């Protein structure tokens, strides 16, 4: 009986594969024909990947239990501390080239 294949397409060499859509087909041979027609007939793809839907493993929860934000840029608040450091150094009123005071 028919199955569903998820189709990924690459626009040009070196680009990432991106999910394009899916095709329903009786078997892999037909899935390939349908995917080629549906996602490549105008030369809009350089390569296609077909993956049986059942083979896709999904992860959609990313719980930050331990507040690991020190791994990210938003884990650092530089501005306040920089202001404090400048005041201590007595340079807080000096214009810093290329910086606008926000």
Partner 1 sequence: MDARTEEFVAHVQSGGLVESGDWMPDEYRNRLLKFIEMHANSELMGVLPERDWILRAPTLQRKLALTAKIQDEVGHAQLLYRVVEDLGKPREACLDDLVAGKSKFHNVFHYPTYTWGDVGVIAWLVDAAAIISQKALLKCSYAPYARIMRKICWEESFHILHGRDVILTLVTGTDTQRELVQEALYRWWEPLMMFHGNPIPADDDPMVHWRIKSQPNEDARQQFLEGYVPQVWELGLTLPDPKLRRRDDGVWEYTEPDWGKLMAVVSGNGPASAERIAFRRLSRAEVDWVARAVLAEAA
Angle formed at CA 48 by CA 4 and CA 3, multiple of 5 degrees: 10
- Which residue, 17 or 38, is less far from partner 1 as judged by CB? 38
- Which residue, 3 or 86, is less far from partner 1 as judged by CB? 3
Q: Tell me how crowded residue 84 is: count the other CB atoms within 10 A of its CB.
A: 11
Q: Min. distance of Cβ 74 from partner 1 in angstroms?
A: 22
Residues engaged in binding partner 1 (CB under 8 A) = 1-2, 4, 20-24, 26-27, 30, 34, 37-38, 41-42, 58
d(CA 35, CA 10): 13
Give, for 85, the enclosing helix (H) or strand (E): helix 78-89
Q: Min. distance of Cβ 38 from partner 1 in angstroms?
A: 6
């Amino acid at each position: 009986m028919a199955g569903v294949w998820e189709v990924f397409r690459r626009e040009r060499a070196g680009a990432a594969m991106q999910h394009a859509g899916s095709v329903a087909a009786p078997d892999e041979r037909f899935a390939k024909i349908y995917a080629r027609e549906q996602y490549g007939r105008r030369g809009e793809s350089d390569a296609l990947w077909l993956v049986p839907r059942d083979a896709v493993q999904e992860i959609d929860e990313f719980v930050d239990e331990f507040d690991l934000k020190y791994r990210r840029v938003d884990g650092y608040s530089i501005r306040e501390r920089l202001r404090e450091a400048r005041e201590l150094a007595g340079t807080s009123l000096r214009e810093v080239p290329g910086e606008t005071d926000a």
